[in-house]
A and B are shown apart, each in its own frame.
Chain A
Protein backbone atom coordinates (compact mmCIF):
# COMPACT_ATOMS: atom_id res chain seq x y z
CA UNK A 1 0.00 0.00 0.00
CA UNK A 2 1.18 3.49 -0.78
CA UNK A 3 2.28 5.48 2.23
CA UNK A 4 1.52 8.84 0.62
CA UNK A 5 -1.65 10.73 1.46
CA UNK A 6 -4.59 9.85 -0.79
CA UNK A 7 -5.31 12.60 -3.33
CA UNK A 8 -8.87 13.94 -3.10
CA UNK A 9 -9.60 16.49 -5.83
CA UNK A 10 -12.87 17.61 -4.23
CA UNK A 11 -11.04 18.53 -1.04
CA UNK A 12 -8.10 20.04 -2.93
CA UNK A 13 -10.43 22.28 -4.96
CA UNK A 14 -12.95 22.84 -2.18
CA UNK A 15 -13.92 26.35 -3.32
CA UNK A 16 -14.94 24.99 -6.73
CA UNK A 17 -17.42 22.63 -5.08
CA UNK A 18 -19.15 25.21 -2.89
CA UNK A 19 -22.79 24.26 -2.30
CA UNK A 20 -24.44 27.51 -1.17
CA UNK A 21 -28.19 27.84 -0.47
CA UNK A 22 -28.17 31.09 -2.53
CA UNK A 23 -26.44 31.71 -5.89
CA UNK A 24 -22.72 32.40 -5.65
CA UNK A 25 -19.89 33.21 -8.05
CA UNK A 26 -17.08 30.64 -8.19
CA UNK A 27 -13.90 30.46 -10.24
CA UNK A 28 -13.40 27.01 -11.72
CA UNK A 29 -9.94 26.26 -13.06
CA UNK A 30 -9.21 23.93 -15.96
CA UNK A 31 -9.80 20.33 -14.93
CA UNK A 32 -9.34 16.83 -16.33
CA UNK A 33 -12.33 14.49 -16.50
CA UNK A 34 -13.17 11.03 -17.67
CA UNK A 35 -16.24 11.63 -19.82
CA UNK A 36 -18.81 9.79 -21.89
CA UNK A 37 -21.40 11.45 -24.11
CA UNK A 38 -24.81 10.39 -25.24
CA UNK A 39 -28.30 11.37 -26.20
CA UNK A 40 -31.63 10.36 -24.74
CA UNK A 41 -33.66 10.22 -21.61
CA UNK A 42 -31.81 10.45 -18.30
CA UNK A 43 -32.02 7.03 -16.64
CA UNK A 44 -32.77 5.34 -19.99
CA UNK A 45 -30.92 2.27 -21.28
CA UNK A 46 -28.14 4.16 -23.13
CA UNK A 47 -27.68 6.42 -20.16
CA UNK A 48 -27.29 3.44 -17.78
CA UNK A 49 -24.81 1.70 -20.08
CA UNK A 50 -22.76 4.91 -20.33
CA UNK A 51 -22.80 5.36 -16.57
CA UNK A 52 -21.68 1.77 -15.98
CA UNK A 53 -18.85 2.17 -18.49
CA UNK A 54 -17.70 5.45 -16.92
CA UNK A 55 -17.63 4.03 -13.38
CA UNK A 56 -15.99 0.81 -14.51
CA UNK A 57 -13.21 2.77 -16.24
CA UNK A 58 -12.75 5.21 -13.33
CA UNK A 59 -12.40 2.33 -10.88
CA UNK A 60 -10.18 0.16 -13.04
CA UNK A 61 -7.78 3.02 -13.84
CA UNK A 62 -7.53 4.04 -10.19
CA UNK A 63 -6.95 0.51 -8.88
CA UNK A 64 -4.46 -0.39 -11.61
CA UNK A 65 -2.34 2.67 -10.79
CA UNK A 66 -2.66 1.89 -7.09
CA UNK A 67 -1.56 -1.74 -7.37
CA UNK A 68 1.34 -0.66 -9.60
CA UNK A 69 2.51 1.70 -6.87
CA UNK A 70 1.71 4.86 -8.84
CA UNK A 71 -0.17 6.46 -5.94
CA UNK A 72 -3.73 6.48 -4.70
CA UNK A 73 -6.56 8.95 -5.20
CA UNK A 74 -10.28 9.09 -4.45
CA UNK A 75 -12.67 8.47 -7.36
CA UNK A 76 -14.63 11.75 -7.40
CA UNK A 77 -18.38 12.23 -7.37
CA UNK A 78 -20.34 11.97 -10.59
CA UNK A 79 -20.88 15.19 -12.56
CA UNK A 80 -22.66 15.91 -15.83
CA UNK A 81 -23.29 18.50 -18.52
CA UNK A 82 -26.57 18.89 -20.42
CA UNK A 83 -27.50 20.65 -23.66
CA UNK A 84 -30.31 20.64 -26.22
CA UNK A 85 -32.75 20.10 -23.38
CA UNK A 86 -35.59 22.32 -24.58
CA UNK A 87 -37.28 19.59 -26.60
CA UNK A 88 -38.49 16.09 -25.72
CA UNK A 89 -36.26 14.06 -23.38
CA UNK A 90 -35.24 11.52 -26.03
CA UNK A 91 -33.33 14.31 -27.78
CA UNK A 92 -31.52 15.57 -24.69
CA UNK A 93 -27.74 15.47 -24.90
CA UNK A 94 -25.50 14.77 -21.95
CA UNK A 95 -21.96 14.18 -20.93
CA UNK A 96 -21.36 12.19 -17.74
CA UNK A 97 -18.06 13.08 -16.08
CA UNK A 98 -15.78 12.04 -13.22
CA UNK A 99 -12.98 14.44 -12.31
CA UNK A 100 -9.62 12.70 -12.56
CA UNK A 101 -6.04 13.64 -11.60
CA UNK A 102 -3.89 15.12 -14.36
CA UNK A 103 -1.39 12.29 -14.22
CA UNK A 104 -3.97 9.86 -15.67
CA UNK A 105 -3.15 9.45 -19.38
CA UNK A 106 -4.45 7.80 -22.56
CA UNK A 107 -2.42 4.65 -21.91
CA UNK A 108 -4.25 4.23 -18.56
CA UNK A 109 -7.57 4.38 -20.42
CA UNK A 110 -6.47 1.89 -23.07
CA UNK A 111 -5.26 -0.68 -20.56
CA UNK A 112 -8.38 -0.32 -18.36
CA UNK A 113 -10.70 -0.70 -21.35
CA UNK A 114 -8.83 -3.86 -22.43
CA UNK A 115 -9.17 -5.39 -18.96
CA UNK A 116 -12.89 -4.64 -18.72
CA UNK A 117 -13.52 -6.10 -22.18
CA UNK A 118 -11.60 -9.22 -21.22
CA UNK A 119 -13.78 -9.61 -18.10
CA UNK A 120 -16.94 -9.10 -20.21
CA UNK A 121 -17.64 -5.80 -18.48
CA UNK A 122 -16.71 -3.74 -21.51
CA UNK A 123 -20.09 -2.43 -22.76
CA UNK A 124 -19.63 1.21 -23.74
CA UNK A 125 -16.02 1.56 -22.52
CA UNK A 126 -14.74 2.68 -25.93
CA UNK A 127 -16.86 5.82 -25.51
CA UNK A 128 -15.00 6.91 -22.37
CA UNK A 129 -12.59 9.78 -23.08
CA UNK A 130 -10.15 11.95 -21.23
CA UNK A 131 -11.07 15.63 -21.52
CA UNK A 132 -9.85 18.94 -20.21
CA UNK A 133 -12.68 21.37 -19.46
CA UNK A 134 -12.14 25.00 -18.52
CA UNK A 135 -15.25 26.76 -17.22
CA UNK A 136 -13.78 29.88 -15.59
CA UNK A 137 -16.21 32.10 -13.76
CA UNK A 138 -19.50 30.33 -12.93
CA UNK A 139 -22.66 30.81 -10.93
CA UNK A 140 -23.27 27.95 -8.54
CA UNK A 141 -25.99 26.88 -6.08
CA UNK A 142 -27.19 23.79 -4.21
CA UNK A 143 -30.50 22.41 -5.44
CA UNK A 144 -32.46 20.30 -2.97
CA UNK A 145 -35.34 18.35 -4.49
CA UNK A 146 -36.30 16.41 -7.61
CA UNK A 147 -34.35 16.93 -10.84
CA UNK A 148 -37.49 18.12 -12.59
CA UNK A 149 -37.71 21.08 -10.19
CA UNK A 150 -34.23 22.33 -11.07
CA UNK A 151 -35.69 25.12 -13.20
CA UNK A 152 -36.74 26.93 -10.00
CA UNK A 153 -33.14 26.99 -8.74
CA UNK A 154 -31.82 27.84 -12.20
CA UNK A 155 -34.18 30.85 -12.37
CA UNK A 156 -32.60 32.19 -9.17
CA UNK A 157 -29.11 31.64 -10.60
CA UNK A 158 -30.00 33.48 -13.83
CA UNK A 159 -31.50 36.43 -11.94
CA UNK A 160 -28.38 36.61 -9.80
CA UNK A 161 -26.12 36.60 -12.86
CA UNK A 162 -28.17 39.30 -14.55
CA UNK A 163 -27.91 41.49 -11.46
CA UNK A 164 -24.13 41.21 -11.69
CA UNK A 165 -24.17 42.19 -15.39
CA UNK A 166 -23.35 38.64 -16.47
CA UNK A 167 -25.03 36.12 -18.76
CA UNK A 168 -24.81 32.34 -18.95
CA UNK A 169 -23.00 30.64 -21.79
CA UNK A 170 -21.79 27.09 -22.40
CA UNK A 171 -23.37 24.06 -20.81
CA UNK A 172 -25.42 23.53 -17.70
CA UNK A 173 -23.34 21.47 -15.23
CA UNK A 174 -24.49 19.27 -12.32
CA UNK A 175 -22.58 17.63 -9.47
CA UNK A 176 -24.42 14.79 -7.74
CA UNK A 177 -24.21 14.80 -3.96
CA UNK A 178 -27.00 12.25 -3.30
CA UNK A 179 -27.73 8.78 -4.62
CA UNK A 180 -30.95 8.95 -6.67
CA UNK A 181 -31.49 5.16 -6.42
CA UNK A 182 -32.66 5.43 -2.80
CA UNK A 183 -32.79 9.02 -1.64
CA UNK A 184 -36.39 10.28 -2.04
CA UNK A 185 -36.65 12.99 -4.76
CA UNK A 186 -37.55 15.74 -2.28
CA UNK A 187 -34.27 15.14 -0.40
CA UNK A 188 -31.91 14.86 -3.39
CA UNK A 189 -28.96 17.25 -3.22
CA UNK A 190 -27.39 18.45 -6.49
CA UNK A 191 -24.88 21.26 -7.00
CA UNK A 192 -25.87 23.27 -10.10
CA UNK A 193 -23.25 25.27 -12.02
CA UNK A 194 -23.37 27.44 -15.10
CA UNK A 195 -20.42 29.26 -16.78
CA UNK A 196 -20.82 33.02 -17.23
CA UNK A 197 -19.65 35.76 -19.58
CA UNK A 198 -20.20 39.54 -19.47
CA UNK A 199 -23.74 40.43 -20.63
CA UNK A 200 -23.64 42.10 -24.06
Chain B
Protein backbone atom coordinates (compact mmCIF):
# COMPACT_ATOMS: atom_id res chain seq x y z
CA UNK B 1 0.00 0.00 0.00
CA UNK B 2 1.22 3.49 -0.89
CA UNK B 3 2.28 5.62 2.07
CA UNK B 4 1.10 9.17 2.58
CA UNK B 5 4.09 11.43 2.11
CA UNK B 6 4.86 14.94 3.28
CA UNK B 7 4.32 16.04 -0.33
CA UNK B 8 0.77 14.57 -0.21
CA UNK B 9 0.06 16.53 2.95
CA UNK B 10 1.56 19.68 1.38
CA UNK B 11 -0.53 19.32 -1.73
CA UNK B 12 -3.71 18.91 0.35
CA UNK B 13 -2.97 21.93 2.55
CA UNK B 14 -2.13 23.94 -0.61
CA UNK B 15 -5.58 23.11 -1.97
CA UNK B 16 -7.04 24.64 1.19
CA UNK B 17 -4.85 27.76 0.96
CA UNK B 18 -5.96 28.34 -2.64
CA UNK B 19 -9.58 27.67 -1.73
CA UNK B 20 -9.40 30.22 1.11
CA UNK B 21 -7.82 32.82 -1.16
CA UNK B 22 -10.54 32.42 -3.79
CA UNK B 23 -13.41 32.34 -1.30
CA UNK B 24 -12.63 35.04 1.23
CA UNK B 25 -16.22 36.30 0.99
CA UNK B 26 -17.62 32.90 1.96
CA UNK B 27 -18.08 31.70 5.55
CA UNK B 28 -15.23 29.12 5.15
CA UNK B 29 -16.25 26.72 7.88
CA UNK B 30 -13.96 23.98 9.13
CA UNK B 31 -15.86 20.94 7.88
CA UNK B 32 -15.94 22.38 4.35
CA UNK B 33 -12.21 23.19 4.42
CA UNK B 34 -11.34 19.77 5.85
CA UNK B 35 -13.36 18.28 2.98
CA UNK B 36 -11.38 20.30 0.42
CA UNK B 37 -8.20 18.76 1.83
CA UNK B 38 -9.74 15.28 2.34
CA UNK B 39 -8.79 15.39 6.04
CA UNK B 40 -10.90 14.33 8.99
CA UNK B 41 -12.33 17.39 10.74
CA UNK B 42 -11.00 15.88 14.00
CA UNK B 43 -7.42 16.50 12.99
CA UNK B 44 -7.43 18.94 10.07
CA UNK B 45 -7.13 22.09 12.15
CA UNK B 46 -3.96 20.90 13.85
CA UNK B 47 -2.46 19.60 10.59
CA UNK B 48 -2.99 23.10 9.21
CA UNK B 49 -1.58 24.83 12.28
CA UNK B 50 1.51 22.62 12.39
CA UNK B 51 2.29 22.95 8.67
CA UNK B 52 1.38 26.61 8.10
CA UNK B 53 2.43 28.00 11.48
CA UNK B 54 -0.83 29.72 12.39
CA UNK B 55 -4.32 28.63 13.22
CA UNK B 56 -6.86 28.23 10.45
CA UNK B 57 -9.08 30.98 11.89
CA UNK B 58 -6.08 33.29 12.32
CA UNK B 59 -4.96 32.67 8.73
CA UNK B 60 -8.39 33.46 7.27
CA UNK B 61 -8.68 36.61 9.41
CA UNK B 62 -5.23 37.79 8.35
CA UNK B 63 -5.96 37.28 4.65
CA UNK B 64 -9.21 39.21 4.93
CA UNK B 65 -7.42 42.06 6.67
CA UNK B 66 -4.67 42.13 4.07
CA UNK B 67 -7.28 42.36 1.35
CA UNK B 68 -8.88 45.21 3.31
CA UNK B 69 -5.50 46.97 3.50
CA UNK B 70 -5.17 46.80 -0.27
CA UNK B 71 -8.68 48.18 -0.70
CA UNK B 72 -7.89 51.05 1.68
CA UNK B 73 -4.79 51.98 -0.30
CA UNK B 74 -6.13 51.38 -3.78
CA UNK B 75 -9.69 52.78 -3.60
CA UNK B 76 -11.83 55.55 -2.11
CA UNK B 77 -14.43 53.16 -0.73
CA UNK B 78 -15.71 54.07 2.74
CA UNK B 79 -13.97 52.24 5.58
CA UNK B 80 -17.24 50.85 6.88
CA UNK B 81 -17.93 49.19 3.53
CA UNK B 82 -14.48 47.58 3.50
CA UNK B 83 -15.09 46.47 7.08
CA UNK B 84 -18.32 44.73 6.12
CA UNK B 85 -16.61 43.06 3.15
CA UNK B 86 -13.99 41.72 5.53
CA UNK B 87 -16.57 40.00 7.70
CA UNK B 88 -16.74 42.63 10.48
CA UNK B 89 -20.10 43.85 11.65
CA UNK B 90 -18.92 47.29 12.71
CA UNK B 91 -16.34 49.97 11.98
CA UNK B 92 -15.06 49.62 15.57
CA UNK B 93 -14.53 45.87 15.46
CA UNK B 94 -12.73 46.20 12.13
CA UNK B 95 -10.51 49.02 13.43
CA UNK B 96 -9.58 46.95 16.48
CA UNK B 97 -8.66 43.88 14.43
CA UNK B 98 -6.79 45.95 11.83
CA UNK B 99 -4.77 47.72 14.49
CA UNK B 100 -4.00 44.44 16.26
CA UNK B 101 -2.71 42.96 13.00
CA UNK B 102 -0.81 45.91 11.50
CA UNK B 103 -0.32 48.31 14.48
CA UNK B 104 -1.98 51.15 12.58
CA UNK B 105 -5.61 52.28 12.29
CA UNK B 106 -7.35 51.86 8.90
CA UNK B 107 -7.79 55.64 8.52
CA UNK B 108 -4.09 56.25 9.18
CA UNK B 109 -3.20 53.56 6.71
CA UNK B 110 -4.91 55.62 4.01
CA UNK B 111 -2.70 58.61 4.78
CA UNK B 112 0.47 59.52 2.97
CA UNK B 113 2.94 58.25 5.56
CA UNK B 114 1.35 54.90 6.15
CA UNK B 115 3.84 52.12 6.88
CA UNK B 116 4.25 49.25 4.47
CA UNK B 117 2.34 46.13 5.36
CA UNK B 118 4.17 42.95 4.39
CA UNK B 119 1.60 40.89 2.53
CA UNK B 120 1.41 37.12 2.46
CA UNK B 121 3.33 35.28 -0.19
CA UNK B 122 1.48 33.54 -2.99
CA UNK B 123 0.02 30.33 -1.48
CA UNK B 124 1.56 28.37 -4.33
CA UNK B 125 4.93 29.11 -2.73
CA UNK B 126 3.75 27.37 0.44
CA UNK B 127 6.34 25.14 2.11
CA UNK B 128 5.52 23.18 5.27
CA UNK B 129 7.18 24.53 8.41
CA UNK B 130 10.22 22.64 9.59
CA UNK B 131 9.36 20.60 12.71
CA UNK B 132 9.95 22.54 15.93
CA UNK B 133 11.04 19.34 17.61
CA UNK B 134 12.51 16.96 14.98
CA UNK B 135 13.53 14.50 17.70
CA UNK B 136 9.99 14.26 19.13
CA UNK B 137 9.53 10.82 20.66
CA UNK B 138 6.57 9.08 19.08
CA UNK B 139 5.76 5.38 19.31
CA UNK B 140 3.27 3.48 17.17
CA UNK B 141 1.07 1.39 19.47
CA UNK B 142 -1.45 -1.29 18.64
CA UNK B 143 -4.27 -0.63 21.12
CA UNK B 144 -6.92 -3.18 22.12
CA UNK B 145 -10.48 -1.82 22.25
CA UNK B 146 -11.11 -0.40 25.74
CA UNK B 147 -14.39 -0.65 27.62
CA UNK B 148 -14.87 2.44 29.74
CA UNK B 149 -17.36 4.03 32.10
CA UNK B 150 -17.60 7.74 31.45
CA UNK B 151 -19.12 11.06 32.41
CA UNK B 152 -19.52 13.63 29.64
CA UNK B 153 -18.50 17.23 30.23
CA UNK B 154 -19.72 19.96 27.88
CA UNK B 155 -17.84 23.23 28.30
CA UNK B 156 -14.27 24.49 28.49
CA UNK B 157 -11.72 21.69 29.01
CA UNK B 158 -10.32 23.33 32.12
CA UNK B 159 -13.68 22.84 33.84
CA UNK B 160 -13.84 19.08 33.33
CA UNK B 161 -12.90 18.53 37.00
CA UNK B 162 -16.54 18.05 38.04
CA UNK B 163 -16.97 15.17 35.58
CA UNK B 164 -13.83 13.52 36.97
CA UNK B 165 -15.01 14.09 40.52
CA UNK B 166 -18.37 12.49 39.86
CA UNK B 167 -16.87 9.52 38.01
CA UNK B 168 -14.02 8.71 40.40
CA UNK B 169 -16.05 9.21 43.58
CA UNK B 170 -18.64 6.73 42.41
CA UNK B 171 -16.24 4.21 40.84
CA UNK B 172 -13.73 4.49 43.70
CA UNK B 173 -16.36 3.90 46.37
CA UNK B 174 -17.51 0.80 44.46
CA UNK B 175 -14.00 -0.69 44.51
CA UNK B 176 -13.72 -0.31 40.73
CA UNK B 177 -10.48 1.67 40.76
CA UNK B 178 -7.62 -0.70 41.42
CA UNK B 179 -4.43 -1.99 39.86
CA UNK B 180 -4.45 -1.43 36.11
CA UNK B 181 -7.33 1.08 36.02
CA UNK B 182 -6.58 3.71 33.38
CA UNK B 183 -7.83 7.29 33.44
CA UNK B 184 -8.59 8.49 29.93
CA UNK B 185 -9.87 11.74 28.44
CA UNK B 186 -11.71 11.60 25.13
CA UNK B 187 -11.57 14.96 23.36
CA UNK B 188 -14.32 15.25 20.77
CA UNK B 189 -13.76 18.88 19.82
CA UNK B 190 -10.89 21.25 19.21
CA UNK B 191 -11.18 24.24 21.56
CA UNK B 192 -9.73 26.48 18.85
CA UNK B 193 -12.72 25.76 16.65
CA UNK B 194 -15.69 24.80 18.76
CA UNK B 195 -17.05 27.56 21.01
CA UNK B 196 -15.82 26.88 24.57
CA UNK B 197 -19.30 26.23 25.99
CA UNK B 198 -19.92 23.50 23.37
CA UNK B 199 -16.66 21.55 23.66
CA UNK B 200 -17.39 17.88 24.43
CA UNK B 201 -15.09 15.82 26.64
CA UNK B 202 -15.57 12.38 28.19
CA UNK B 203 -13.86 11.55 31.49
CA UNK B 204 -13.35 7.75 31.27
CA UNK B 205 -12.02 4.92 33.42
CA UNK B 206 -11.38 1.44 32.10
CA UNK B 207 -13.77 -1.22 33.41
CA UNK B 208 -13.83 -5.01 33.18
CA UNK B 209 -15.60 -6.59 30.23
CA UNK B 210 -17.94 -8.39 32.62
CA UNK B 211 -18.93 -5.36 34.70
CA UNK B 212 -22.69 -5.45 34.40
CA UNK B 213 -24.12 -2.61 36.38
CA UNK B 214 -22.58 0.82 36.19
CA UNK B 215 -25.32 2.78 37.87
CA UNK B 216 -26.20 6.05 36.21
CA UNK B 217 -22.95 6.21 34.26
CA UNK B 218 -22.43 5.75 30.54
CA UNK B 219 -20.44 2.91 29.07
CA UNK B 220 -18.72 3.06 25.70
CA UNK B 221 -16.04 1.24 23.79
CA UNK B 222 -12.96 3.15 22.68
CA UNK B 223 -11.75 1.92 19.28
CA UNK B 224 -8.64 -0.21 19.17
CA UNK B 225 -6.15 -0.22 16.32
CA UNK B 226 -2.97 1.68 15.55
CA UNK B 227 -2.25 4.91 17.40
CA UNK B 228 0.74 7.25 17.48
CA UNK B 229 1.68 7.91 21.12
CA UNK B 230 3.72 10.74 22.55
CA UNK B 231 4.09 11.88 26.16
CA UNK B 232 3.20 15.38 27.27
CA UNK B 233 5.10 16.61 30.33
CA UNK B 234 3.71 19.53 32.29
CA UNK B 235 0.49 21.52 32.65
CA UNK B 236 -2.69 20.48 30.87
CA UNK B 237 -3.02 24.06 29.58
CA UNK B 238 -0.09 23.33 27.26
CA UNK B 239 -1.60 20.26 25.56
CA UNK B 240 -2.25 22.17 22.38
CA UNK B 241 1.46 22.70 21.67
CA UNK B 242 2.03 18.94 21.84
CA UNK B 243 -1.04 18.26 19.67
CA UNK B 244 0.14 20.70 16.98
CA UNK B 245 3.63 19.15 16.93
CA UNK B 246 2.26 15.60 16.81
CA UNK B 247 -0.54 16.12 14.30
CA UNK B 248 0.81 19.03 12.27
CA UNK B 249 4.52 18.22 12.16
CA UNK B 250 5.20 14.59 13.06
CA UNK B 251 2.20 13.03 11.27
CA UNK B 252 2.84 14.56 7.81
CA UNK B 253 6.35 13.05 7.89
CA UNK B 254 5.26 9.68 9.28
CA UNK B 255 3.99 8.12 6.07
CA UNK B 256 0.68 7.46 7.87
CA UNK B 257 -2.88 8.62 7.30
CA UNK B 258 -4.95 9.89 10.25
CA UNK B 259 -8.07 8.02 11.34
CA UNK B 260 -11.21 10.16 11.75
CA UNK B 261 -11.59 9.54 15.49
CA UNK B 262 -10.85 11.70 18.51
CA UNK B 263 -7.47 11.69 20.23
CA UNK B 264 -7.09 10.03 23.63
CA UNK B 265 -5.35 11.42 26.71
CA UNK B 266 -4.08 8.90 29.31
CA UNK B 267 -3.44 10.65 32.62
CA UNK B 268 -0.60 8.89 34.45
CA UNK B 269 -0.74 11.03 37.58
CA UNK B 270 -3.21 13.37 39.19
CA UNK B 271 -3.29 17.14 39.71
CA UNK B 272 -4.65 16.37 43.17
CA UNK B 273 -1.21 15.42 44.49
CA UNK B 274 1.11 16.55 41.68
CA UNK B 275 2.23 20.06 40.72
CA UNK B 276 1.42 21.19 37.15
CA UNK B 277 5.06 20.92 36.02
CA UNK B 278 5.25 17.24 37.09
CA UNK B 279 2.03 16.07 35.40
CA UNK B 280 2.54 13.30 32.83
CA UNK B 281 0.05 12.49 30.06
CA UNK B 282 0.27 10.08 27.13
CA UNK B 283 -1.46 11.44 24.03
CA UNK B 284 -2.76 8.93 21.46
CA UNK B 285 -3.48 9.94 17.87
CA UNK B 286 -5.55 7.38 15.88
CA UNK B 287 -3.94 6.21 12.61
CA UNK B 288 -5.27 4.24 9.66
CA UNK B 289 -3.94 0.69 9.45
CA UNK B 290 -1.21 0.17 6.87
Contacts and interface: CB of A to CB of B under 8 A. Distances in A.
Interface stretch (A36-44, A111-119, A129-137, A152-160): A111-119
A75 B231 CA distance: 24
Contacts of A166: none
B177 interface: yes
Contacts of A122: 178
Interface residues of B, number: 27
B179 A121 contact: yes
Interface in B164-179: 165, 168-179
Interface in A64-84: 64, 66-68, 74-77
Given A62-B172, A182-B282, A77 B179 contact: no
Interface size classification for chain A: 35 or more
B176 A76 contact: no
Interface in B270-288: 270, 272-274, 278, 280, 282
Interface string A106-149: 00000010111111111100000000000000000000000000
Contacts of B268: 179, 181-182
Contacts, number: 90
A93 interface: no
B233 interface: yes
B208 interface: yes
A179 B269 contact: yes
B118 interface: no
A41 B56 CA distance: 52
Given A74-B273, A182-B231, A52 B280 contact: no
B239 to A, nearest CB: 15
B145 interface: no
Contacts of A119: 174-176, 178, 208
Contacts of A74: 272-273
Interface in B187-240: 208, 231, 233
B202 to A, nearest CB: 20
Interface string B112-132: 000000000000000000000
B282 A60 contact: no
Given A179-B268, A181-B280, A182-B231, A121 B178 contact: yes
A63 interface: yes
Given A10-B273, A177-B278, A181-B280, A63 B178 contact: no
B78 interface: no
Given A52-B179, A115-B174, A120-B208, 10 more contacts: A53-B179, A63-B169, A64-B172, A74-B273, A117-B175, A118-B175, A119-B176, A119-B178, A121-B178, A182-B231
